[in-house]
Chains A and B, each alone.
Chain A
Amino acid sequence: MDKLLRIDMGMDGGPKASEEPLGDYAGLAGRGMTSAIIAKEVPPLCHPLGKDNKLVIAPGLLSGSHAAQSGRVSVGCKSPLTGGIKEANSGGQGAQVIARLGYAAIVLEGKPGDDTLYKVVINKDGVEITPDNSLKMMGNYDLIDKIRETYGDKVACISIGPAGEMKMAAASVAFTDMEQRPTRHAGRGGVGAVMGTKGIKVIVLDDTGMPTRSPKDPEKFKAANKAFVQGLKKHPITGEGLPSFGTNILTNVINEAGALPTHNFKTGRFDGAGNISGETQSEIMKARGGMVAHGCHKGCVIRCSGIYNDKDGNFVTKRPEYETVWAHGGNCGIDDMDTIAELDRMDDDYGLDTIEMGAAIGVAMEAGLAEFGDAEAAVNLLKEVGKGSPLGRIIGNGAAVTGKVFGVERVPVVKGQALPAYDPRSVQGMGVTYATTTMGADHTAGYAVTANVLNVGGSVDPLNPEGQVELSRNLQIATAAIDATGMCLFIAFAILDQPETFEALVDMIGAFTGQNLTADDVTELGKTILTFERDFNSRAGFTQKDDRLPNFFKEEPLPPHNVTFDVKDEDLDRVFNW
């Protein structure tokens, strides 16, 4: 992982690939790499769909090694959805294979002069870029079936569906999983549209003949990895809760908290939550011969994913995650698991962010295009997106565009990106992060607890009501840093609760890189990444007024607790004072 692969799609004479040493980017990975390249090389005022934008795909620090949970991959660009810097990340096989091929990042740049669609094949012998217009408007599932016919079932793929080709702002980049299905997505911010502008339909990654990445200190690494895995397996969240119920374990709990956004953020409780809870979902999956505990990439020991089959036992989709179940479920008033699974499958096939789609359909329902709870109508609206009809293109460009076109006031977005599955009126600290994060409303501060473990930014009294700004700041710093490692976010509780598991993680990183990681290093890395990102957004025209939640969160009390978002603007503006 000591080189960059650049693929310039706008060269005279056709696309060209070149390798170069890491240079100033040495030591960076994941979000650290994507944000550094975007901040340094992409003009902040460029059009996100233009030739000057770049799409950077970067595996984590430990990807490609035997380290458990090291398979996250970051995808960065200037976002067509927000207009700011974007890092979306994903599981799947991509990170491991890119890293074993020796690349710290693949950078897609330039723009073809016509609408020819290309296929990129990367293996130990190099890079081949070939036109293949037979792939046009193909769904991700059919596309991968076709790739399998030619390249076999061992390769990993990075692809876009029709939404990416149509350059929709909610388009995702798909990564294949262990079964070579396109079920894992860098979903947020329209990264798939940027890949579409580069004219690349699919990147086929073949690491045959490439070795697993070796640590600097193999014995210490092996011992630390073993202790880390043991820690994950014995913890009740990573060893029991997530494998048993997946991330959708949250539905009942968030609903009970009155924080489950329902009917386009009108209330915090959904009557049908029990029908789409993780508990119900797992029983359905078991009954149909699906798989309740399943990893999304090799090296996953938590296995929060699963296989969701139809009533006849045929594969439909991976276990829909909590955010997907919320977006297509409670947010749209739909309490039927099979419908939600169908919508999830369609999102993956078209190549769409499930959160943005659920939010956009919720706004469309608010506008009167369908009734809340009308499952058939939701499916039909999503089909419009897949077809690229005028209505579908509106919805496929996200909740903000949908709200604007149909004159809806209650549009749950920040910086143009839809809020995820936790209402910020009930969990106000998350609202601080939604408002101020560089990414637009984003829930992936999942490494939250690492801030506390590492004492990032100093100690904060957890019960002090004034501490939310400080908590959000620390979370964002820690999240930015840990996003750079490529570790799965769900390791967090195990390292919080079990000091020996945290030590094992630190030892593992140290043994792999040959450098000892300290809390100060983490803090500095996190601050550096956020500084890159804030600077980019500032140069792109963002100001403090963009670090705000929509007014309705301040004005409309949320049942059942009837709370409004009451963090002051001046406090939001203190988040990045360090």
Chain B
Amino acid sequence: MGSPAGGSPFSSVVKRPMEPKPENYSTINLRLTVESDRLSLFSSLLGQGFTLKVRTGCSLRELLCEQLGVHADYVDQRIQTIFLDGKTVDDVDTAVIRQESTLALSAAMPGLAGATLRRGGAYAAMRRQISHQNTAGHNSVADGVVMLKLFNLVALELGPGFLKQGIWIRGKHMENFFKKVPDYFWPGCRAAEIDGTPLKVEEIRRLEWRHRQVFLKLEVKESG
């Protein structure tokens, strides 16, 4: 069930500009050309969260399907565990996205904990203290920014689409990624550019990222 009919989980190409206007940070544009079999390595980075410029005040379904172009079937079938500001969402039609919300998306999880956190699941009562309270009817639509976190299978499936469009991430997460990424990433990272200037791939590791806001965009090449 990776996506409807095994195709892309996106129903349309995401055209919305992904970048918010970062404040209080110096910014840097990083463009990497990587082989496709290295894409899964970015899952850990996607789980740390990246920011998107969106229209807030809408339902979660509207954000995912209409603004981000995720296929409705994918939302209904694949994304089984959702957190909005750390609270478990049961209904994507009534949960409302607010300015600077943090939204985390995951596939279904195993075990009792997984059953409990599953949206609309049979054991939702067991975590009522952390359930998101529906907020439909109080919408105030406006331009805003949200943080999106992608976990597990959802990161593998939706992640490449976002990475190719480009994502804003915190420099400390970028630095941690380059520090911890397995060594086999580097031979598959074919090229790098910073603010439009090419540089040697191995130099990326030595740069100071911590106090920056990074716009990361990937170009993906077939492996081999």
Contacts and interface: CB of A to CB of B under 8 A. Distances in A.
Interface of A: 236-237, 240-242, 244-245, 247, 249-250, 252-254, 256-259, 274-275, 277-280, 283-284, 286-288, 304, 422, 425-430, 432, 443, 445-446, 448-449, 452, 460-468, 471-472, 475, 489-490, 492-493, 496, 560-561, 563, 566
Contact of A253 (B117, B122, B130, B182): B117
Interface in B174-191: 176, 180-184
A422 B124 CA distance: 15
A257 B123 contact: no
Given A284-B182, A468-B125, A241 B107 contact: yes
B179 to A, nearest CB: 10
B112 A443 contact: yes
Nearest to B184: A287
Interface stretch (B8-16, B39-47, B137-145): B39-47
Interface of B: 1-2, 40-41, 43-44, 47-48, 78, 81, 83, 86-88, 90, 104, 106-117, 120-130, 149, 151-153, 155-156, 176, 180-184
A560 B108 CA distance: 23
A283 B86 contact: no
B40 A283 contact: yes
B160 to A, nearest CB: 14
Contacts, number: 188
A493 B114 CA distance: 9
Contacts of A249: 109-110, 152
Nearest to A432: B126
Contacts of A242: 110
B90 A463 contact: yes
A280 B151 CA distance: 11
A418 B151 CA distance: 28
B115 A448 contact: yes
A448 B107 CA distance: 18
Contacts of B125: 429, 460-468, 471
A490 B113 CA distance: 12
B152 A430 contact: no
A249 B112 CA distance: 13
Given A275-B176, A428-B128, A280 B44 contact: yes
A474 B128 CA distance: 18
B129 A256 contact: no
Contacts of B81: 253
Contact of A445 (B48, B78, B112, B127): B112
B94 to A, nearest CB: 13
B106 to A, nearest CB: 5
Across the A-B interface, the 3 shortest Cβ-Cβ residue pairs:
A429-B126, A287-B182, A279-B43
A423 to B, nearest CB: 10
Given A245-B152, A279-B155, A430-B112, A256 B130 contact: no
Given A236-B1, A241-B152, A249-B109, A465 B40 contact: no
Nearest to A420: B113
Contacts of A247: 110-111
Given A287-B184, A490-B111, 8 more contacts: A240-B107, A253-B152, A256-B149, A448-B111, A462-B124, A463-B125, A471-B123, A561-B129
Contacts of B182: 283-284, 286-288
A258 to B, nearest CB: 5
B146 to A, nearest CB: 15
A261 to B, nearest CB: 12
Given A237-B114, A258-B86, A452-B122, A429 B108 contact: no
Contact of B113 (A241, A254, A274, A561): A254
A232 B2 CA distance: 16
Contact of B153 (A236, A280, A449): A236
Nearest to A466: B125
A252 B126 contact: no
Nearest to B88: A257
A449 B114 CA distance: 10
Contact of B86 (A275, A449, A463, A561): A561
Nearest to B106: A253
B116 to A, nearest CB: 6
Chain B CB within 10 Å, residue with most, of A237, A252, A560, A566: A252
B129 A241 contact: no
Given A257-B130, A427-B127, A241 B149 contact: no
A426 B127 contact: yes
A283 to B, nearest CB: 5
A250 B109 contact: yes
Contacts of A425: 129
B147 to A, nearest CB: 11
Contacts of B47: 252, 274, 277, 279
Nearest to B131: A463
B143 to A, nearest CB: 26
A536 B185 CA distance: 56
Contact of A430 (B108, B116, B180): B116
Nearest to B155: A279
B126 A492 contact: no
Q: Which of B2, B129, B183 has the most CB of A within 10 A?
A: B129
* Most central of B87, B116, B181 by chain A CB within 10 Å: B116
A462 B127 contact: no
Given A257-B83, A275-B176, A283-B182, A241 B90 contact: no
B89 to A, nearest CB: 11
Contacts of A472: 126
12 contacts: A236-B153, A237-B108, A237-B109, A247-B110, A253-B83, A256-B151, A274-B48, A278-B152, A430-B126, A448-B115, A462-B123, A475-B112
A65 to B, nearest CB: 24
Contacts of A244: 152-153, 156
Nearest to B181: A283
B128 to A, nearest CB: 5
Contacts of B48: 274
Nearest to A443: B112
Contacts of A253: 81, 83, 104, 106, 109, 114, 117, 151-152
A468 B126 contact: yes
A241 B156 CA distance: 11
- Best-buried of B44, B113, B114, B121 by chain A (most CB within 10 Å): B113
Contacts of B180: 275, 280
A427 B152 contact: no
Contacts of B128: 428, 463, 465, 468
B130 A492 contact: no
Given A256-B104, A428-B126, A428-B128, A493 B112 contact: no
Contacts of B120: 462
A463 B112 contact: no
Nearest to B90: A463
Contact of A449 (B40, B90, B106, B122): B122
B114 to A, nearest CB: 7
A232 to B, nearest CB: 12
